[in-house]
Amino acid sequence: MTKEDGCTMKISDAIVYAGVYDRDIDLFEGQYPVPAGVSYNSYIILDDKIAVMDTVDARKTAEWLDKVEKALNGRTPDYLVIAHLEPDHSGSIQAIADRYPEMKLVMSAKALTMLPQFADASLAARAVSVKENDTLTLGAHALRFMTAPMVHWPEVMVSYESSEKVLFSADAFGPFGDPETDPWLPEARRYYFNIVGKYGSPVQTLLKKAAALDIASICPLHGPVLTGSLNEYLEKYQLWSAYAPEETGVLVAYGSLHGNTAKAAMLAADMIREQGVKATVIDLARTDVSFALAEAFKYDKLLLACSTYDGNFFPKMEDFLLHLKAKAFQKRRAALIENGSWAPMAAKGMKAYLEQMKEIAVCENTVTIKSTLKEENKAQLAALVNELLA
Ligand SMILES: Cc1cc2nc3c(=O)[nH]c(=O)nc-3n(C[C@H](O)[C@H](O)[C@H](O)COP(=O)(O)O)c2cc1C
Ligand SMILES: [Fe+2]
Ligand SMILES: [Fe+2]
């Protein structure tokens, strides 16, 4: 999905993109590496009345206010619509409110209770609280508001502009990366599972509301404006929120101290591929856990290979399993390979984590390697792969 496929920052003459691209940020939300940065999107609807749709992270306030001012062309905004109060979007509320003192702030009732945490309490006097299906008429354009609680904060709402059929979707459908050039899917997936993943059921509720709308464009708070055929995006969100895999295939994730477990993991991946099934191998010590998590959700099967470490197992693997559990990883098949020089314990430890997740079918076979891979281990790996793929 690129610009040519319908990703564009141009919406219409009346609905203008006013987002900013933060290419310097190292960690989004203090933990997710964003090698290609992230955009904080904002939009302006210019009609008899003017609505600014969300603000941006405090890292970009000045650049954003300049953009807004240019787009306004001497006019003054009547409304700031606040979809979400997380600081990447609320970070410039105070600044724009100070600049345009007549502007009203439109938000959900829940957002109104939380607003004083992100701006001066005095702003509440300028707030308009809206509820499900309330509309705000701007002229030829009108916004209908729909709450989206726990996608992925409690105060979230989305807005639908009916004349141009635009859904302002808050964080939903937003990826990391350069909104103008990066493909949507990989970073939308990583954003979704790491940030929204735990909230599959609230996302399903939002998708049901969206299904009743005639949508021509989706304007998320990150990444490109989505236009053209929206089915691909909607289908991905449908699968993701149902915890259903996108593809048949195996994520082979390993943690290895001296490389022997890594060798076993790669050999197992080769065996998987020989059977015509896709396999992606990830070294958990060298790949950020957010990428591994997204790959795990993409496939229907997971193969974990890990060294024993101080009577337990390699901490990078434990961190990965902690993340999977926290993001409600479920409905998958899994297989285990362990390594240990005197008392291998890794499989037991990994299995204990998998048992805390819903509907993870762990293979009966487990391969135990004692330090280095031996011929008999290869036969065991083949049997494990056969069971996993059966
Ligand atoms: C700090 C440390 C702790 C370890 N703890 C255990 C242990 O508790 N039980 C065990 O069987 N092996 C233990 N090992 C040995 C490794 O699990 C073993 O050498 C294994 O072969 C490592 O696989 P690798 O070659 O993939 O790193 C430990 C190794 C290190 C460095
Ligand atoms: Fe957010
Ligand atoms: Fe966000």
Separation between Cα atoms, residue 390 and residue 140, nearest integer Å:
58
pLDDT in the model for residue 381? 98
H-type alpha helices, the chain? 61-72, 87-90, 93-99, 109-114, 184-191, 200-211, 231-241, 260-274, 289-298, 315-326, 346-354, 375-389
Pairing mode of beta strands 142-147, 157-161? antiparallel
In angstroms, the CA 115 to CA 98 distance is 15
Query: Three-state DSSP class for 371?
Result: coil
Instruction: Determine the residue type at 241.
Output: S
* Other residues' Cβ atoms within 10 Å of the Cβ of residue 223: 25
331 C-alpha to center of ligand 2: Å?
26
Q: Which ligand is nearest to the Cα of residue 22, counting in written order?
A: 3
Structure tokens of 10? 């141009």
pLDDT above 70: residue 8: no
- Residue pLDDT, tens place only, 18-60: 999 999 999 999 999 999 999 999 999 999 999 999 999 999 9
Instruction: Fill in the amino acid letter for 166.
Output: V
Cα(334) to centroid of ligand 2, in Å? 31
Please give the number of the atom of ligand 1 that sits closest to the Cα of 262.
26
Provide the whole-model pTM.
Answer: 0.95
Residue 174 phi, psi (nearest 5): -95, 135
Which residues neighbour ligand 3 (ion) by CB within 5 Å?
88, 171, 221
- When pLDDT is cut at 50, 70 and 90, the band that residue 10 belongs to is confident
* Ligand 1 first shell, C-beta below 6 A: 256-262, 307-311, 339-344, 371
CA separation for the pair 252, 158 (Å, rounded): 37
Please name which ligand lies nearest the alpha carbon of 221.
3
Cβ-proximal residues to 235 (8 Å cutoff; 6+ apart), any chain: none
pLDDT digits (tens, 9 = 90+) for 185-199: 999 999 999 999 999
